[in-house]
Amino acid sequence: MHFYGEDLATLHHTHYSTLARDAATYLHQRLSTLGKHRARVFDLGCGSGVSAAVLASLGHSVHGVDVSSAMIAQARKTAPTATFAVDTITDVTIPLCDGILAIGESMTYQHSADYGKGAVAHAIQRCIGSLRSPAILLCDVLLTSIAEELQHDMTATYPQFTVRVEASIDRDVLHRTITTIRHGNDEHPARQCVEDHRQVLLQPSDLLDLAFDIARQGYSTSILTDVGKAPFRKGHVALEIRAID
Ligand SMILES: C[S@@+](CC[C@H](N)C(=O)[O-])C[C@H]1O[C@@H](n2cnc3c(N)ncnc32)[C@H](O)[C@@H]1O
């Protein structure tokens, strides 16, 4: 079963990278306010390396990991001065760092049935444990309120690809069947790839519990509804967690 295989990775890289760019710029600005101008940043679910490229160009040292080998292959081209590895959010050893980015809802993907809300909270907690104060974690999650504006069937066409997304929600899990069709040309025939993605959705009360729990541990925590010019869509929020002595 493919998961961010070659075609979806290329499509994401070429047409869905705005959030990665904005989040990296936002993290850079926030690290600057802490005096961290040459920060060590860990990029979890780094995708095609867009955020790593932005951060590296601004003077930070970036290591990115992603479960998709196609994404990592692209990331190595996008951000040649950063380092990358194929690894998973649940297995990777996170070194002590000044900044952690887990954007594009990377922590919410359910690769096994036992990965639920508790696992998302645990992943965030593991990141927090690796913050070298003063330091920042910027991550994003999805809430059940995305249901209010969910497009159940969406098709978009780009020069190289057509993508169809069929979406539904079942018991706090967003299920998307993503069909990517790479258009044929003189060099290669058309091809189609179908991927099944499941993402854990939090109830608003889960998010508040999580934020309060983190705050109780002494971290400053903000819930954000944008990290750049464009507001997030309904049900998409980011958490900015700061470790400051
Ligand atoms: C929507 S993409 C976002 C990529 C990138 N952060 C960005 O904002 O453009 C989600 C990424 O999370 C990665 N991902 C999902 N589950 C993962 C896991 N358990 N471990 C590592 N990476 C994961 C996917 O392979 C994909 O690259």
1 in any annotated domain: no
Residues 110 and 29 in one domain: yes
Average pLDDT over residues 214-241: 96
Atom of ligand 1 nearest to the CA of 90: 19
Q: Is the CB of 71 under 6 A from ligand 1?
A: yes
192 in any annotated domain: yes
Q: Decide if pLDDT at 237 tops 90.
A: yes
Residues 104 and 195 in one domain: no
Atom of ligand 1 nearest to the CA of 17: 9
Rounded distance from Cα 238 to ligand 1 centre (Å) = 15
Share of the chain above pLDDT 90, in %: 96
Residue 60: CATH number of its domain: 3.40.50.150
Atom of ligand 1 nearest to the CA of 71: 27
Measured distance CA(30)–CA(18) in Å, rounded: 18
Q: What is the CA radius of gyration of the chain?
A: 18
The token pair at 151 is: 């497009």
- Residue 192 carries which side chain, given as an amino acid letter? Q
Q: Is the CB of 17 under 6 A from ligand 1?
A: yes
Quote the number of domains for the chain. 2
* Structure confidence by residue, pLDDT tens digits, 59-94: 999 999 999 999 999 999 999 999 999 999 999 999
Residue 173: CATH number of its domain: 2.20.25.110
Residues 32 and 60 in one domain: yes
Residue from 75, 139, 135, 74 nearest 104 by CA:
139
Average pLDDT over residues 193-204: 98
Res 178: pLDDT: 98
Whole domain around residue 28: which residue ranges?
6-143+201-243
For residues 152-163, one letter each, b for 16 or more C-beta atoms within 10 angstroms of the residue's C-beta and e for the rest, the string is eeeeeeeeebbb
Rounded distance from Cα 151 to ligand 1 centre (Å) = 21
Q: Is the CB of 100 under 6 A from ligand 1?
A: no
Instruction: Compute CA 179 distance to the chain's CA centroid, rounded to the nearest angstrom.
Output: 20
The CA–CA distances, whole Å, from 241 to 16, 70, 159, 238 equal: 25, 30, 39, 10
The model's confidence at residue 229, banded by pLDDT at 50, 70 and 90, is confident
Res 1: pLDDT: 74
Q: Decide if pLDDT at 201 tops 80.
A: yes
Q: Decide if pLDDT at 141 tops 80.
A: yes
Res 198: pLDDT: 98
Residues 107 and 178 in one domain: no
Rounded distance from Cα 198 to ligand 1 centre (Å) = 12
pLDDT, averaged across the chain:
97
Residues 40 and 151 in one domain: no
Q: Which residue has the least CA distance to atom 26 on ligand 1?
A: 47
Residues 191 and 229 in one domain: no
Residues 71 and 31 in one domain: yes
54 in any annotated domain: yes
Q: Is the CB of 43 under 6 A from ligand 1?
A: no
Residues 187 and 233 in one domain: no
15 in any annotated domain: yes
The token pair at 71 is: 């994404």
Whole-model pTM?
0.98
Measured distance CA(139)–CA(143) in Å, rounded: 13
- Residue 3 carries which side chain, given as an amino acid letter? F
Rounded distance from Cα 245 to ligand 1 centre (Å) = 31
Q: Which residue has the least CA distance to atom 5 on ligand 1?
A: 47
Q: Is the CB of 74 under 6 A from ligand 1?
A: no
Rounded distance from Cα 186 to ligand 1 centre (Å) = 32
* Structure confidence by residue, pLDDT tens digits, 7-66: 999 999 999 999 999 999 999 999 999 999 999 999 999 999 999 999 999 999 999 999
Q: Is the CB of 88 under 6 A from ligand 1?
A: yes
Q: Which residue has the least CA distance to atom 20 on ligand 1?
A: 88
Average pLDDT over residues 150-163: 96
Residues 37 and 109 in one domain: yes
Per-residue H/E/C for the chain: CCCCCHHHHHHHHHHCCHHHHHHHHHHHHHHHHCCCCCCEEEEECCCCCHHHHHHHHCCCEEEEEECCHHHHHHHHHHCCCCEEEECCCCCCCCCCEEEEEECCCHHHECCCCCCCHHHHHHHHHHHHCCEEEEEEEEEEEEEHHHHHHCCCEEEEECCCEEEEEEEEEECCEEEEEEEEEECCCCCCCCEEEEEEEEEEEECHHHHHHHHHHHHHCCCEEEEECCCCCCCCCCCEEEEEEEECC
The model's confidence at residue 245, banded by pLDDT at 50, 70 and 90, is confident
Rounded distance from Cα 79 to ligand 1 centre (Å) = 16
